[in-house]
C-alpha cells in the first residue's frame, strides 16, 4: 500500500507542474483563463453527463453523492490532447497542446459510503498572438504581440453516504490555487523602443460543492436516476502585479525604463452553480441521461481584470445529453462484447462576453457546441479499463472582429480497480 501511495504522490506533483501549460486558445486571454472540464474521460465522451450517474467501478467527478456506490478502490489518470483551428475574417491559425488532465483516487468506506481525492486543472491560460497594423499604403506601421500562460489547479476531497436505500448525499471541499502571467508588447515603426505591459496574478481560495442522488426501479430491469449538484457561492482571492516598461527588441528583449509599477488585491466572486440530471438505464448494460447546469454571472472586483473593457460576464448554462452501451458485461467468449461504447453532445453558453473594439456596449456571447464519443476497453479484467474519448466542436464565431475556434480533442484515461482492504485467505 505504501508503494501505491508513493506513486500517487509522485504523479500529483507531475500534474501540478504540467497543468500550467495546457491551452492554445485565444479566449484564454480573458479573466483567469478557460474553465477546464471537471469530468472524467468517460463522462466527457457522453457529452459531459454524470450528475445522476452511479457506478461501482469508476469515479464520477460531477457529484460527490455518487461515491456511496463505489465498491472498489479506484485510480483514475487521464491525458488530453487539444487541437484548435482558429480563424477570423482574414487569418487562420492552428494550435495544439497535450497535458495530464487529472489524477484522482476513490476508496469505498464500507458498503454504503466512499471518499475520493485528487488534483486537476481548474482554469488554463495559453496563447501567443501577433497583430499587425498597416497604413493606407499597405505599409506596416505597428506590431503588437500578446502572450500568456499559467492557470489555476484544484485539489479536492469528497465523501458520499447512502442515507437510505437508493438515496445518497455527498460533500466535496476544493482548494484552488495558481499563477497567471500575461504580457502585451507594442512596437511602432521608426521608434527605437517598444513598450511592454505585464500582469501577474496569484490566485487562491476555497470552494465547496454538495450533491444528492436517488435511484429507484422503473421496471424490473430498468432504473431511473435523479441527481443534483450545487457549487456553493465562493470567493477566490487574487494578488496582482502590474508593470509597464520600455525595452529594446533588436537582438532579444532588453528592459530599459520602468514606466509603471502597481500592486493590488482582488476577488473573483463565483455565484451558486446548480446542476441537475436525470437518466434511465440497466445496470452494467446501458444508460441514457441529460444534465442541465446554470449559474449567474461571475464578478471580478478590485483587481487588474477590471481594466479590460473588452470583456464582460453573463449568466452561464449548459445542456449535456449522452449515454453508454455495453453489449455483455460478463462475456467470457467475446472481448468486444465487454467493451463499453459512449456518445453524447453538449450545448454551452460560456458566460463570456467579448467586445472586440472595446468601445461602447456591443458585446457578443461566446458559445460552445461539441459532439463526443468514446470506448472503454477492458484491461486485465473487466473492472479496470483503458478509456479513449474524442470530441469535435466549435466555439465563438466570425463576427464583429471575433475568432471562431474549431477543435478536436483526444483523451485517454486509465480507470484501475483494486481491493485494498480485502481479507487475506489462508490455506
| 423 in a structural domain | no
Find all residues with CB under 8 Å of 248, minimum gap 6, and list them: 192, 193, 194, 254, 256
Domain count, the chain: 1
- Mean predicted confidence (pLDDT) in 237-259: 80
- Mean predicted confidence (pLDDT) in 372-385: 85
Per-residue pLDDT of 76-91, as tens digits, reads: 999 999 999 988 777 7
pTM: 0.87
| 426 in a structural domain | no
pLDDT at 424: 46
Report the alpha-carbon distance of residue 198 to residue 241 in Å, rounded: 8
**Which of 80, 75, 154, 152 has its CA nearest to residue 116?**
75
**Higher-scoring residue by pLDDT: 250, 225:** 225
How far apart, in Å, are the Cα atoms of 155 and each of 104, 176, 332, 409?
10, 7, 39, 24
- Mean predicted confidence (pLDDT) in 343-365: 86
Residue 139 Cα to chain centre, angstroms:
42
User: Is the confidence at residue 11, as pLDDT, over 80?
Assistant: no
Predicted confidence band at 95 (pLDDT cuts at 50, 70, 90)?
A: confident
Identify the H or E element spanning 279.
strand 273-282
CATH of the domain at 310: 2.40.160.60
**Residue 24 near residue 97, CB atoms below 8 Å:** yes
The answer to which of 20-29, 212-221, 279-288, 314-323 has the lowest mean pLDDT is 20-29
pLDDT at 251: 63
Residue 370 Cα to chain centre, angstroms:
14
| 427 in a structural domain | no
Per-residue pLDDT of 121-150, as tens digits, reads: 898 888 877 777 777 777 778 888 888 888
SS3 annotation, 33-72: CEECCCCCHHHHCCCCCCCCCCCCCCCCCCCHHHHHHCCC
pLDDT at 175: 97
| 275 in a structural domain | yes
Which domain does 112 fall in, by range?
A: 2-418
Report the alpha-carbon distance of residue 247 to residue 249 in Å, rounded: 6
**Residue 315 near residue 308, CB atoms below 8 Å:** no
User: Is the confidence at residue 14, as pLDDT, over 70?
Assistant: no
**Which of 89, 91, 191 has its CA nearest to residue 141?**
191
pLDDT at 419: 66
Residue 242, sorted as left (phi over 0), alpha (psi -120 to 50) or beta, turns out to be beta
Beta-strand pair 140-164/167-188: antiparallel
State the DSSP code for 403. Answer: -
Per-residue pLDDT of 53-73, as tens digits, reads: 999 889 999 999 999 999 999
**Residue 67 near residue 114, CB atoms below 8 Å:** yes
pLDDT at 15: 44
pLDDT at 303: 63
Return contacts of 257-261, CB within 8 angstroms, 24+ apart: 259/195
Query: What does the mean pLDDT of the chain come to?
Result: 86
The answer to which of 59-68, 303-312, 359-368 has the lowest mean pLDDT is 303-312
- Burial class of 317 by CB neighbour count within 10 A (0 to 12, 13 to 18, 19+): middle
| 102 in a structural domain | yes
**Higher-scoring residue by pLDDT: 128, 154:** 154
| 187 in a structural domain | yes
Find all residues with CB under 8 Å of 427, minimum gap 6, and list them: none
| 144 in a structural domain | yes
- Mean predicted confidence (pLDDT) in 227-233: 97
| 424 in a structural domain | no
Tracing cell 527605437 back to the chain, one arrives at 192
Amino acid at each position: 500500500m505504501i508503494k501505491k501511495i508513493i506513486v500517487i504522490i509522485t504523479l500529483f506533483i507531475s500534474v501540478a507542474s504540467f497543468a500550467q501549460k495546457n491551452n492554445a486558445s485565444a479566449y484564454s486571454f480573458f479573466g483567469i483563463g478557460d474553465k477546464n472540464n471537471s469530468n472524467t474521460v468517460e463522462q466527457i465522451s457522453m457529452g459531459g453527463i454524470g450528475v445522476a450517474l452511479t457506478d461501482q467501478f469508476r469515479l464520477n467527478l460531477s457529484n460527490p453523492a455518487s461515491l456511496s456506490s463505489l465498491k472498489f478502490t479506484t485510480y483514475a489518470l487521464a491525458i488530453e490532447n487539444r487541437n484548435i483551428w482558429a480563424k477570423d475574417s482574414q487569418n487562420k491559425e492552428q494550435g495544439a497542446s497535450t497535458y495530464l488532465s487529472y489524477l484522482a483516487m476513490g476508496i469505498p468506506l464500507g458498503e454504503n459510503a466512499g471518499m475520493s481525492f485528487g488534483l486537476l486543472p481548474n482554469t488554463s491560460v495559453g496563447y501567443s498572438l501577433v497583430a499587425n497594423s498597416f497604413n493606407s499604403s499597405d505599409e506596416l506601421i505597428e506590431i503588437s504581440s500578446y502572450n500568456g500562460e499559467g492557470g489555476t489547479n484544484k485539489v479536492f476531497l469528497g465523501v458520499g453516504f447512502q442515507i437510505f436505500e437508493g438515496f445518497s448525499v455527498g460533500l466535496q471541499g476544493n482548494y484552488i490555487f495558481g499563477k497567471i502571467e500575461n504580457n502585451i508588447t507594442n512596437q511602432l515603426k521608426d521608434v527605437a523602443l517598444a513598450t511592454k505591459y505585464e500582469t501577474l496574478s496569484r490566485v487562491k481560495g476555497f470552494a465547496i460543492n454538495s450533491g444528492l442522488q436517488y435511484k429507484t426501479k422503473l421496471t424490473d430491469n430498468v432504473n431511473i436516476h435523479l441527481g443534483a449538484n450545487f457549487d456553493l457561492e465562493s470567493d477566490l482571492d487574487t494578488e496582482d502585479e502590474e508593470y509597464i516598461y520600455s525595452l529594446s527588441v533588436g537582438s532579444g528583449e532588453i528592459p530599459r525604463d520602468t514606466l509603471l509599477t502597481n500592486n493590488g488585491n482582488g476577488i473573483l466572486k463565483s455565484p451558486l452553480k446548480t446542476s441537475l440530471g436525470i437518466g434511465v438505464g440497466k445496470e452494467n448494460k446501458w444508460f441514457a441521461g441529460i444534465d442541465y447546469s446554470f449559474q449567474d454571472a461571475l464578478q471580478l472586483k478590485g483587481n487588474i481584470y477590471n481594466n479590460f473593457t473588452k470583456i464582460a460576464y453573463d449568466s452561464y448554462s449548459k445542456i449535456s445529453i449522452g449515454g453508454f452501451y455495453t453489449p455483455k458485461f460478463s462475456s467470457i467468449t467475446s472481448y468486444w462484447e465487454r467493451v463499453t461504447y459512449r456518445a453524447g453532445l453538449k450545448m454551452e453558453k460560456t458566460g463570456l462576453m467579448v467586445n472586440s473594439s472595446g468601445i461602447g456596449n456591443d458585446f457578443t456571447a461566446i458559445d460552445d457546441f461539441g459532439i463526443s464519443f468514446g470506448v472503454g476497453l477492458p484491461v486485465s479484467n473487466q473492472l479496470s479499463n483503458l478509456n479513449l474519448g474524442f470530441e469535435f466542436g466549435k466555439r465563438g464565431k466570425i463576427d464583429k472582429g471575433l475568432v471562431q475556434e474549431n477543435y478536436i480533442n483526444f483523451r485517454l484515461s486509465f480507470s484501475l480497480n483494486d481491493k485494498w482492504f480485502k481479507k487475506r485467505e489462508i490455506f
